[in-house]
Amino acid sequence: MLLSVHIIKVEPGHYRTHVMEGREELGTFDTISISAAIREAASHALPDLSGYHVWYEHVCAGTCTPSNMRIDPEGLAQRLMALHGQFKS
């Protein structure tokens, strides 16, 4: 199974994350950073979950395994922020 993690910046220091299976929302949580959102999503991975499509607003870092998200959430967050800067909406 693959899920999507959509991270949205509400305001500085406040990020809302939606965990989705297709169009169905499975859960929502708030964090203080993109890396904290990635770490939180990975820590609640279901046993049969292969990975997540990781989004920050309008850009996607690709499909990541929960273990890679736990190992380097900061690196993934930096990649998302760099992509976000390249493709401003």
pLDDT tens digits, one per residue of 68-79 = 999 999 999 999
Going through 12-82 in order, the beta strands assigned E by DSSP cover 14-21, 24-31, 51-56, 59-64
Q: Render pLDDT for 30-70 as a digit per residue (tens, 0 to 9).
A: 999 999 999 999 998 778 899 999 999 999 999 999 999 99
Domain CATH number, residue 64 = 3.30.420
User: Which one-letter DSSP state was computed for residue 45?
Assistant: -
Backbone angles phi, psi at 7, to 5 degrees: -105, 130
Sheet of 59-64, strands arranged across = 24-31, 14-21, 2-11, 51-56, 59-64
**Token code pair at residue 46:** 């279901």
Give pTM, 2 decimals: 0.92
Q: Which domain holds residue 56?
A: 2-86
How many independent structural domains does the chain possess? 1
